[in-house]
Amino acid sequence: MSKKRILIVEDEAALVDMLKLRLEASGYATLTAYDGIEALAKAKKEKPDLIILDLMLPKIDGYKVCRMLKFDEKYKNIPIIIFTARAQESDKKIGKDVGADAYITKPFEPQTLLTKIKELLEGK
């Protein structure tokens, strides 16, 4: 069975590299995007199996990206994990409102992230 593809959307290059390392070590293929516009383009073109989405992005922020994908028939089934330093209840609520499937705060527990990814991919 082919590898599942995960799109990493994050503007901190160091974090992208680390996530790539982590995810590939766990058997996933990865794609990357460093801003909101690139994120939308890649998501639509590549149709990844899951998206890890940072919120503080240049050009278009993560919330907008999430909303746009979730409100589009063609892409709404791609699970999106919001990945952010904002940890407030209010932020989590907004995450829910824009249709995110999960919310992981930075700094994160690698295991928590991997388990969540697995859950969402299997849930499909």
Partner 1 sequence: MACKGSGVQSPSAPPKLNLYALKKSHRKIPAIRKNQTENYRLLQDLMDHVPDVIYFKDLKGRLLLVNKAHAKGLGLRPEQVAGKSDFDFFPEERAEMMAKDDQRVFKSGKPIIDKIERATRADGIDNYVSTTKIPRFDAKGRVIGLIGITRDITKRMQIARVSEEEKVLKKRLESLEELNRLKSEFISVVSHELRTPLAIVKEGVNLIYEGLAGGISEKQKKLLSQARENIERLKKLIDDLLDLSRIEAGRVKLSYSLVNLSDLLRNSAEFFQKQARDKEITLKYDLPRERINIFLDGERINQVVSNLISNAIKFTEEGGRVTVELQALENKIRIGVIDTGIGIAKHDIPKLFSRFTQLSKDTGTARKGMGLGLSIAKELVELHGGEIWAESKPGVGSKFYFTIPRYYSIRVLDEFVRRKVNELLTQGLKMHLINFLFIDYKEFVRHLKVKPTDLFSALRAIIEAALGKLLPKPERRRPYIHTDASKGECSIILPEITEKSALKVCALLKAGLDRYLTNNKFANAFIAMGLLSYTHKIRLKERARIPARVFVKEMYVGSEMRKHRRINYKATVEIICGNKQEESRTIDISEGGICFSAKCPLKTDAVIKTKLKIAKDKILHLKGRVAWVREEQKDFYRMGLQFLSVNPKTKKALSRFIRAISRARSG
Site for partner 1, rule CB under 8 A:
12, 14-15, 18-19, 21-22, 25, 85-89, 105-108, 110
| Bridge partners, 1 (sequence order) | none
- Closest approach, Cβ 86 to partner 1, in A, equals 6
Q: Name which of 59 and 86 has its Cβ closer to partner 1.
A: 86
Question: In one letter, which amino acid is 34?
Answer: Y
Q: Among 50, 58, 53, 73, which Cα is nearest to 124's? A: 50
Please list the alpha-helical segments (H only) found in 1-124: 13-25, 36-46, 62-70, 89-97, 110-123
- Closest approach, Cβ 97 to partner 1, in A, equals 16
- Closest approach, Cβ 25 to partner 1, in A, equals 5
Q: Name which of 40 and 83 has its Cβ closer to partner 1.
A: 83
Tokens representing 108?
């994160």
Exposed / middle / buried, residue 26 (Cβ in 10 Å: 0-12, 13-18, 19+): middle
Q: Name which of 20 and 67 has its Cβ closer to partner 1.
A: 20
Q: Name which of 76 and 110 has its Cβ closer to partner 1.
A: 110
- Closest approach, Cβ 120 to partner 1, in A, equals 20
